[in-house]
Structure 1
Amino acid sequence: MKSLMAGFAALLLLAGCTTPGKPPALQVPVTGKINPTRVQVAPSDVDIQAAKASLFTAIDAEGVEFDSLFGTAANTAGDDLAVCGFARRDEQEEALYFAYYNGELLLWDEAAPHGTSTENQFLAIICSYR
């Protein structure tokens, strides 16, 4: 009986080791088709500079490089504009995801899996488009 129980326990242990677990939570921003009410627009140079200046109130500007910033809005005229983009420092790809929206800076919360922080949910909504 002991050997039967030991064999059963070993079988359960092996089954647990070979069964794939739940995949890790998504840690990068999701773009596109999250919010079909917004459209992509080209932000003006003034809006881009305001977004960068806002980011530099939160982080040190030294060594920061930006990918092309983009805008999303409620319509093609640029109403309700959010300037979104990635910044990196020291060759770290997409190390920081941010948006400048209605005079406020929003930073991606890397400590929270996608969708579990208010910041991440809001960034996903305002920086996604059709």
Structure 2
Amino acid sequence: MKILMAGCAALLMLAGCASPGTAPALQVPVTGKINPTRVQVTPPKAAIQAAKASLLTAIDAQGVEFDTLFGTAANAAGDDLAVCGFARRDEQQGALYFAHYNGELLLWDEAAPHGTSTENQFLAMICSYR
């Protein structure tokens, strides 16, 4: 019983030491060479605009800047196209990782480490290439 209470006390002390309001370190999803069945392609301008519009309807658009978006597909002809990329707001470099695929927006779930959520696994699968 004493060991259990000592363990609980130690956990409470550790929890109290964390500084409130400090954001956790940003975890960047793994990209490239995860899914050798896809290739990188240049997405058409319309697909890029659709991806940006989809993201900006899901989040507050103020201050968002996009890195260069890229496409992955099942083949070089662009079949099964996914438009992927990073966007940032203010000083947060690459804070939003997303894909526009089959008319749907997929956002990286930064609360879950890479690979532990279905969304993260699917993003890694469709946004990676040879």
TM-score bucket (shorter structure): 0.7 to 0.9
Instruction: Report the CA distance between 1:91 and its aligned residue.
Output: 1.8
Partner residue of 1:116? 116
Partner residue of 2:95? 95
Partner residue of 1:28? 28
Distance in 2 (alpha carbons) for counterparts of 1:108 and 1:100: 12
Distance in 2 (alpha carbons) for counterparts of 1:27 and 1:116: 12
RMSD (Å) for aligned C-alpha atoms: 1.0
TM-score, normalised with respect to structure 2: 0.79
Distance in 2 (alpha carbons) for counterparts of 1:40 and 1:91: 28
Partner residue of 2:83? 83
The alignment of Structure 1 onto Structure 2 pairs a total of residues equal to 105
Cα-to-partner distance string for 1:70-89 (whole Å, 9 max, x where unaligned):
00000000000000000000
Instruction: Report the CA distance between 1:29 and its aligned residue.
Output: 1.1
**2:50 partner SS:** helix
Identity of aligned residues (%): 88
Cα-to-partner distance string for 1:31-58 (whole Å, 9 max, x where unaligned):
1110000000000110000000000111
Partner residue of 2:20? none
Give the alignment of 1:1-130 within 5 angstroms: 27-130=27-130
Detail structure 1 runs of 4+ shifted over 3 Å in the superposition.
Answer: none
Which 5+ residue runs of structure 2 have no aligned equivalent? Answer: 1-25
TM-score, normalised with respect to structure 1: 0.79
